[in-house]
Amino acid sequence: MTETGSGCNRRDLMRGAALFALVVGVPATIASLSDIDERERPTERQRMFAREVSQLVIPRTTTPGAGEIGVGDFLILALAHGLGGTDEPIERDALAGHAQSFRRLDGTLRFLPWLERELDRRAGGDWLRATPAIRAVHLAELDRETFPPGPPPKSPSPWQMIKGLIVTGYYTSETGAARELRYELVPGRFDPDLPLEPGARAWSSDWIAVEFG
């Protein structure tokens, strides 16, 4: 039956609205913060986590990195609204032991607290207080474990989903889409066979590649 949607109740919507207000910096008058489950609101620490992690995934090169252009806050917004499949319930057995404690009653995961715990655990303390190099080592380790060589795991791990949102946040930003990559909304023509120069930047506006790539 398609009469009603699933997995989204008033609480979810309020949470989303308040987070949106927080993230874009407008007064949260449209939503009453008291309606929101305290545990679901991002802490300042989680915002710093999201920023730092984003920056490590996509650092500054000749163009800015993900953290410095606000992808951390995009990640928070995206998670609050369940983008990238993060609103799907996850089977308890699909989660490593310590991750199970971040599972909500509806089976969805509290991704940010999970990420904090995961990296703090690897750091043996406060991951944010480790040196940048050490932070990168821990994140790279989590990433390697998430993407082992060979066929992809059956169900995506929490880190794969978070990383997916960071990548999405970056390459759909103006910096990522139009400075790091190339963006042309109105190509005006189709050239079926061109030489590909070494180092040529990809087109973020190749929508078929975005869909199937």
According to CB under 8 A, which one of 18, 22, 78, 99 is a site residue for other proteins? 78
Choice between 5 and 27, CB closer to other proteins:
5
Residue 137, interface with other proteins (CB under 8 A)? no
Cβ-contact 127, 135 below 8 angstroms: yes
* Helix 158-171 and helix 44-57, axial crossing angle in degrees, nearest 10: 70
Residue 73, interface with other proteins (CB under 8 A)? no
The contact pattern for other proteins, residues 80-109, with x = CB under 8 A and - = no contact, is xxxxx-xx----------------------
Cα dihedral sign, 202-203-209-213: positive
Choice between 38 and 191, CB closer to other proteins:
191
**Residues contacting other proteins: total by CB under 8 A:** 77
Choice between 83 and 100, CB closer to other proteins:
83
Q: Find the binding residues for other proteins in span 37-56 (CB under 8 A).
A: 56
According to CB under 8 A, which one of 25, 29, 34, 61 is a site residue for other proteins? 61
Q: Find the binding residues for other proteins in span 142-161 (CB under 8 A).
A: 143-144, 146-147, 152, 160
Q: How far is the CB of 113 from other proteins (least distance, A)?
A: 19
* CB atoms inside a 10 Å sphere around CB 177: 16
Cβ-contact 65, 55 below 8 angstroms: yes
Q: Which token pair is 130?
A: 């480790």
* Helix 132-146 and helix 158-171, axial crossing angle in degrees, nearest 10: 110
Q: What is the largest CA-CA distance in the chain?
A: 59
Choice between 64 and 95, CB closer to other proteins:
64
Residue 111, interface with other proteins (CB under 8 A)? no
3-class DSSP state of 103:
strand
Please enumerate in sequence order all residues whose Cβ is within 8 A of that of 146, keeping only pairs 6 or more positions apart, or say none. 157, 159, 160, 163
Q: How far is the CB of 187 from other proteins (least distance, A)?
A: 4
Residue 22, interface with other proteins (CB under 8 A)? no
Closest CA to 66 of 173, 201, 199, 205: 173
Range in contact with other proteins (rule: CB under 8 A) among 1-9, 26-34, 43-51, 92-100: 1-9
Cβ-contact 128, 139 below 8 angstroms: no
